[in-house]
């Protein structure tokens, strides 16, 4: 039973003991209640058993400690099953966390792999030129021929790097166009990843504004004054100054219609 046990008034004298189990977790604030009662055997009518029914002849109740131990064992089994269920729930939660970590790790690895595949690498010829320039720099000779050779090698390295970077950008752009994905990054690839941001603005008084809020205020004041103006603007002071348009003849209209392409309208 849970929390309470109901007993008739005529059987209240049979109650010997009762207590609640606090160690049994039922998943709520309820407690399992145990009730010990002593039933008397006299006054009980014996029934005749028929056929396959088993007879209670020779049956005798066991001792009270045996019942206590059996009930305690069943309660221990219940506690074990509840603990196993809670552990299974915790393991499922941990498994979900591990799944999320694996998915995030795989996503990061994929991004890193793409970055490595699209990274700029120097060619073998350029690396050889760089190593050669290092050797000339470490050499103790100070001849003019060595200096000229170093200058020529430096110019060749710059030329090779510019060419390789140009080819690398063209390759990235062609891959984006072929895959038709992330096309908005093409201008950034062409510009070498450089961003052109406003660093300063001049206000109406000619002062320099360098902070972000100051630049925003300059734009706000400009458009506020622009849309606040209600001055009437006349295109021509006098009707006589209106330019006269030449008359359109039928031949001009027919010529223009013949020049129109098929399924196209005049506009």
For a pLDDT cut of 90, what percent of the chain falls above it? 0
* Dist CA 7 CA 37 (whole Å): 10
The torsion angle over the Cα atoms of residues 148, 154, 159 and 162, rounded to 10 degrees, is -160
Q: Decide: helix, strand or coil at residue 28.
A: coil
Confidence of residue 41 (pLDDT cuts 50, 70, 90): low
User: Is residue 136 within 8 Å of 149, Cβ to Cβ?
Assistant: yes
User: Is residue 37 within 8 Å of 16, Cβ to Cβ?
Assistant: yes
Query: What confidence score (pLDDT) does residue 44 get?
Result: 52
Which residues does 219 contact at the CB level (< 8 Å), separation at least 6?
Answer: 201
Higher pLDDT, 205 or 59: 205
Q: What is the mean pLDDT of residues 117-133?
A: 82
* Dist CA 11 CA 19 (whole Å): 18
The two most distant CA atoms of the chain are separated, in Å, by 136
Q: What is the mean pLDDT of residues 140-155?
A: 79
Query: What confidence score (pLDDT) does residue 196 get?
Result: 63
Query: What confidence score (pLDDT) does residue 147 get?
Result: 81
Query: What confidence score (pLDDT) does residue 168 get?
Result: 82
Residues forming beta bridges with residue 243, ordered by sequence position: none
Q: Quick check: 239 pLDDT over 70?
A: no
Number of other CB atoms surrounding residue 14 within 10 Å = 14
Q: What is the mean pLDDT of residues 82-98?
A: 86
Low-confidence winner among 5-14, 120-129, 228-237, 258-267 (lowest mean pLDDT): 228-237
pTM higher than the cut 0.85? no
């Amino acid at each position: 039973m849970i929390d309470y046990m109901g007993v008739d008034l005529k059987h209240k004298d049979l109650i010997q003991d009762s207590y609640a189990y606090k160690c049994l977790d039922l998943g709520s604030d309820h407690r399992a209640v145990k009730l010990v009662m002593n039933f008397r055997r006299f006054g009980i009518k014996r029934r005749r058993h028929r056929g396959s029914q088993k007879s209670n002849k020779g049956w005798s109740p066991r001792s009270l400690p045996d019942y206590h131990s059996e009930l305690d064992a069943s309660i221990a089994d219940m506690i074990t099953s509840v603990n196993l269920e809670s552990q299974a729930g915790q393991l499922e939660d941990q498994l979900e966390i591990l799944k999320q970590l694996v998915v995030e790790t795989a996503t990061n690895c994929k991004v890193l792999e793409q970055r490595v595949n699209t990274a700029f690498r120097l060619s073998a010829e350029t690396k050889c030129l760089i190593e050669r320039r290092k050797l000339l720099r470490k050499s103790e000779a100070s001849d003019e021929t060595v200096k000229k050779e170093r200058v020529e090698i430096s110019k060749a390295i710059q030329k090779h790097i510019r060419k390789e970077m140009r080819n690398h950008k063209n390759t990235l752009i062609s891959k984006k166009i072929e895959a038709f994905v992330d096309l908005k990054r093409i201008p950034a690839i062409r510009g070498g990843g450089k961003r052109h941001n406003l660093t300063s603005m001049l206000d109406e008084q000619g002062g320099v504004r360098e902070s972000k809020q100051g630049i925003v205020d300059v734009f706000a004041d400009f458009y506020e004054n622009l849309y606040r103006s209600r001055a009437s603007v006349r295109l021509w002071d006098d009707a006589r100054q209106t330019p006269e348009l030449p008359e359109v003849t039928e031949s001009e209209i027919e010529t223009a219609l013949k020049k129109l392409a098929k399924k196209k309208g005049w506009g």
